[in-house]
Amino acid sequence: MHELSMRVIFLFSLIVLFASSCISNKRITYLQNLPGNEPIELDEFIPFAEYEKNYILQPFDVVDIDFASADDELTKVFEFQGSRNMRMGGAGMMGAGDLFFFTGYAIDADGYVQVPRLGKIKIAGLNEEQARLEVEEAIKAYFKDDVYVRLRIGGIRFTALGEFSRSGTMTLLKHRATIFDAVAMAGESDILAKKNKLFLVRQYDGGTKIHQINLNDRALLASPFYFIQNNDILYLEPMNIRQFGRADNLSSSLSLILSISSSLLLLVALFTRNI
């Protein structure tokens, strides 16, 4: 009778352990037609949701400003010494996104950039094209001929935290990028991540909002959060089973637990027989 109860306990332990380790495909599969949503069929056209297509520049952003005119020597006066040469020759030595940090113009806390000769120009609160026109208007006073100004942010910078293959701040060298571009760059999350609870921290003019995104949901393609923006922060939560170990060593952890359980049951059986 005692031996039978030991077997029952052992089988029950196995069932609990394996049940806790089972993860439904519905929790790890991207872009599903989830219940309660209008199904989106294959090859169906999905219009983009309304979103702020033109990123609004904010304090502490870094922008690249370049000038071109018939008088090349004069345009050099309006650039920091050596920045043009660094842009042309330094891209091979470091990531192009990082290069903008060294050669670009930082927007200060009050929203201004300091441009040689031109002084402070306020561009925070404007999109790239509006900011470009502001700088172009300021420099025209020094030129008889037309002068062209190029102003752009140094790619889309975002920060990935949590259950990604790698975390940290990264740069997508695109003018427009999707949430899946960011997930791919950060390393596709393992099976122990809550893909239905990706938190997106987004900077707005004067503040911040936290949004929750479901990567399992096909309706995300029509969401305003399908495209990421500069300075977004992505945080991917782990599942509760994460306490047993990472995806790559979960089987080892379960094997260890089962070995310890078997040893304890054997010791209990031997001890009770000797009583």
Which is nearest to 183 in space by CA: 219, 153, 222, 225?
225
Q: Which residues lie across from 115 on neighbouring strands?
A: 119
Q: Is 273 exposed, middle or buried (0-12, 13-18, 19+ CB in 10 A)?
A: exposed
In a domain, 57, yes or no: no
Domain interval for residue 79: 62-153
Verify that 92 and 130 share a domain, yes or no. yes
Kindly state the helix (H) or strand (E) to which residue 2 belongs, with its residue range: helix 2-21
Least confident of 48-52, 94-98, 182-186: 94-98
Task: Choose one of 153, 181, 208: the last residue of a domain.
Answer: 153
Task: Report the alpha-carbon distance of residue 150 to residue 147 in Å, rounded.
Answer: 10
Average pLDDT over residues 216-228: 90
In a domain, 249, yes or no: yes
Task: Choose one of 133, 153, 173: the last residue of a domain.
Answer: 153
* Residue 268: DSSP 8-state: H
The whole-number pLDDT of residue 155 equals: 80
Verify that 101 and 172 share a domain, yes or no. no
Name residues whose C-beta falls within 8 Å of residue 94's C-beta, 6 or more positions apart in sequence: none
The whole-number pLDDT of residue 227 equals: 92
Structure tokens at 145: 């001929």
Verify that 68 and 149 share a domain, yes or no. yes
Verify that 79 and 140 share a domain, yes or no. yes
Which is nearest to 123 in space by CA: 115, 113, 114?
113
Task: Report the C-alpha dihedral over residues 217, 174, 138, 130, rounded to 10 degrees.
Answer: -30
Verify that 162 and 35 share a domain, yes or no. yes
Verify that 33 and 11 share a domain, yes or no. no
Task: Report the alpha-carbon distance of residue 102 to residue 79 in Å, rounded.
Answer: 13
At residue 212 the predicted structure's pLDDT band, cuts being 50, 70 and 90, is very high
In a domain, 115, yes or no: yes
The whole-number pLDDT of residue 112 equals: 96
Give the ranges where 234-274 is alpha helix by DSSP (H): 250-273
Verify that 149 and 264 share a domain, yes or no. no
Average pLDDT over residues 151-158: 86
At residue 92 the predicted structure's pLDDT band, cuts being 50, 70 and 90, is very low
In a domain, 203, yes or no: yes
232-256 pLDDT, tens per residue? 999 988 866 554 455 445 555 556 5
In a domain, 213, yes or no: yes
Verify that 87 and 145 share a domain, yes or no. yes
The whole-number pLDDT of residue 126 equals: 93
The whole-number pLDDT of residue 272 equals: 66
The whole-number pLDDT of residue 94 equals: 46
Task: Choose one of 113, 129, 153: the last residue of a domain.
Answer: 153
In a domain, 164, yes or no: yes
Verify that 170 and 137 share a domain, yes or no. no
In a domain, 167, yes or no: yes
Task: Give the count of domains, the chain.
Answer: 3
Verify that 99 and 38 share a domain, yes or no. no
Q: Supply φ then ψ for residue 149, to 5 degrees.
A: -115, 130
At residue 273 the predicted structure's pLDDT band, cuts being 50, 70 and 90, is low
Name residues whose C-beta falls within 8 Å of residue 210's C-beta, 6 or more positions apart in sequence: 199, 200, 201, 202
Verify that 233 and 247 share a domain, yes or no. no
119-144 pLDDT, tens per residue? 999 999 999 999 999 999 998 888 77
Task: Report the C-alpha dihedral over residues 27, 242, 228, 60, rounded to 10 degrees.
Answer: 170
pLDDT at residue 42 greater than cutoff 90: no
Task: Report the alpha-carbon distance of residue 14 to residue 236 in Å, rounded.
Answer: 30
Task: Report the alpha-carbon distance of residue 106 to residue 62 in Å, rounded.
Answer: 4
Neighbours of 158 (CB within 10 A): 24
Q: At residue 219, what is the residue type?
A: A
Structure tokens at 129: 């094209």
- Distance of CA 128 to CAs 53, 58, 134, 158, Å? 11, 11, 10, 18
Average pLDDT over residues 44-68: 81
At residue 210 the predicted structure's pLDDT band, cuts being 50, 70 and 90, is very high
Which CATH number fits the domain that encloses residue 35? Answer: 3.10.560.10
Verify that 167 and 48 share a domain, yes or no. yes
Which CATH number fits the domain that encloses residue 132? Answer: 3.30.1950.10
pLDDT at residue 266 greater than cutoff 70: no
At residue 19 the predicted structure's pLDDT band, cuts being 50, 70 and 90, is very low
Average pLDDT over residues 103-117: 89
